[in-house]
Amino acid sequence: MGRNRDLSEFQKGQINALHSEGLSQCAIALRLHISRCSVQNALRSTPTRRHNCRGVRKTTIRQDRALKAIVVRSPHASSARIAQSAAANGVNISARTVRRRLLCDFGLPARRPAKKPLITKKQLRDRLKFCHAFKSKPAEWWERVVFSDESTFQQLRGNGYNYVRRPVGERLNPKYTLKTVKHPPSVMVWGAISAKGRCGLEIFDKGVKINAAKYVEVLESKLKIHMTLTNTSIFQQDSAPCHTAKVVKKWLKDNSVQVLENWPPNSPDLNVIENCWSAMKKKVAAHSPTSEADLKRILKEVWVKEINPDYCKTLVHSMPERISAVIRNRGYPTRY
């Protein structure tokens, strides 16, 4: 706060009136017995009207609504394509104008679409049926379940971004390029988790076909012991052919393994281990494996050292919210 009081609104009005009459700042200061600096600050803070500072609007309100209608009908249409459609109807505008109209007037910015599996009508019904059957189960109930799935890990994996920030002229600098390899080494793994933590990881050798017989071997060596250690009683698996074979069903029945029934197909957002796979792929990529053998070694280390029980418990406890999200979205894929 300064030594003197701030100017009142009345004094500011006097300053503006005298200034409009053509008096200089010094003359105004002498007449009102204030400093010239106060006069200058008052004139600076006074908003001024600017006339004719914008270009002529090229579209009418009706034409703007027509642009929105195109996007509503075809949300994947590009701004250039929308501009071409408008030009065909006699409205000559640029793609930039289209983007500005859709963003500023209708709140429709361009975004990268989420990648989700295609869900058929039958799969929608199956997903809703399953979710309605288990929507009353609390998070503690899901602690009894072992969640399993297979996944593929590659030596090189994209970081998920399509942009790089680099100086001008540094396009080919190795620091700013995305590394690629023809036919990068990859391995298939089977894993399972529960609220108590990891429940086994099986890494298959290259060329090994995962059929019903091989799947039974995995269950025999990994599932039985870990269900005992984690005190779980229900086994979750999807409806892959090798999972639903007669020999697999017989093994599960002979070993008294209760299976989570009616698991809906094409539902990675309901299987909590999918999030675990995504986290593992990021962690494995951060270690930069150099070969298939190195990839297998890093996979084992990440599984044992970096996938902790608290993380697994958090995933399992998210099941009630996942089920509610599917019901809210009428069976369609959710954010999980």
The DSSP symbol for 60 reads -
Report the alpha-carbon distance of residue 173 to residue 171 in Å, rounded: 6
Hey, which bits of 111-257 come out as E strands? 145-154, 186-194, 197-203, 234-236
Report the alpha-carbon distance of residue 49 to residue 142 in Å, rounded: 65
Residue 45, classed as helix, strand or coil, is helix
- Residue range 121-328, CATH number: 3.30.420.10
The Cα-based distances of 325 to 39, 94, 135, 270, 329 in angstroms read 61, 40, 10, 10, 6
On whether the CB atoms of residues 210 and 237 are closer than 8 A, the answer is no
pLDDT value for 162: 62
The Cα-based distances of 4 to 1, 8, 35 in angstroms read 8, 12, 10
Domain ranges of the chain: 9-45, 61-106, 121-328
pTM of the entire predicted model: 0.71
pLDDT digit string (tens) for the chain, length 336 residues: 446 677 888 888 889 888 888 888 888 888 888 888 888 888 887 665 555 555 678 888 888 888 888 888 888 988 999 898 888 888 888 999 999 999 888 888 888 888 888 899 999 999 999 999 999 999 999 999 999 999 999 877 655 556 778 888 888 888 888 777 777 778 899 999 999 999 889 999 887 888 999 999 999 999 988 998 988 999 999 988 999 999 999 999 999 999 998 999 999 999 999 999 999 999 998 888 888 889 999 999 999 999 999 999 999 999 999 999 999 999 999 999
